[in-house]
Amino acid sequence: PAPPTLRAFVALAPPDEAKDELARALRPAYAAHPRLRWNRIEDWHITLAFLGEVPATAVPPLHAALADRAAGQPALRLGLQGGGHFDGRLLWSGVGGDLDGLHRLAAEVRALVRALGLDYRDRPLHPHLTLARARRDDPTGVPAGAAALTAFTGRPWWTPRLHLVGSSALRGPEPLRYRDLASWPLAV
């Protein structure tokens, strides 16, 4: 049998107040586009590095390296603002604030992941928070949602923690489900 692996990614999560503020702004879009596959608010995150399948043996050194990185990372001032879509299929909220700091942190996390020898192929970083995906037969919902988001600017926050998140391998009509595997406070 194949050795156990874990599908995981490293992410930041906005605090509840910031998520509530965006959820309130999205209410008309939720009502207008119930056929979109909306991500659960508990699952909202900003991905820094996608790790793919992580072998179980790599998990302890990964935890240690991420804990160490988080401890040396001053909290980042970020905010949710604007939004857009990828190919009319994926609706996202944009991220503003200390984007230089966000890019530096993501580059460092990606470097430590590579240094652990994890086999991973990542996309160029485009800081965003995925809100919804379109069903095949629903071409208008995502662009309409993106148009509704352009005027949104949320209140900024200090990023509290760095998260290692597991993604369920289940793929189907429902949105992917995520679960926090571990998280570490950023330095204050």
Q: Is-contact 129 40, C-beta < 8 A?
A: no
Q: Which of residues 68-127 bind ligand 2AM (CB under 6 A)?
A: 122-123
**Nearer to ligand 2AM by C-beta: 27 or 123?**
123
Check binding of 130 to ligand 2AM (CB under 6 A): yes
**Nearer to ligand 2AM by C-beta: 29 or 48?**
48
Check binding of 171 to ligand 2AM (CB under 6 A): no
Q: Is-contact 38 151, C-beta < 8 A?
A: no
Check binding of 47 to ligand 2AM (CB under 6 A): yes
Check binding of 9 to ligand 2AM (CB under 6 A): yes
Quote the least distance from Cβ 86 to ligand 2AM, whole Å.
7
Q: Which residues in this chain contact ligand 2AM in the complex, by CB under 6 A?
A: 9, 47, 50, 122-123, 130, 167
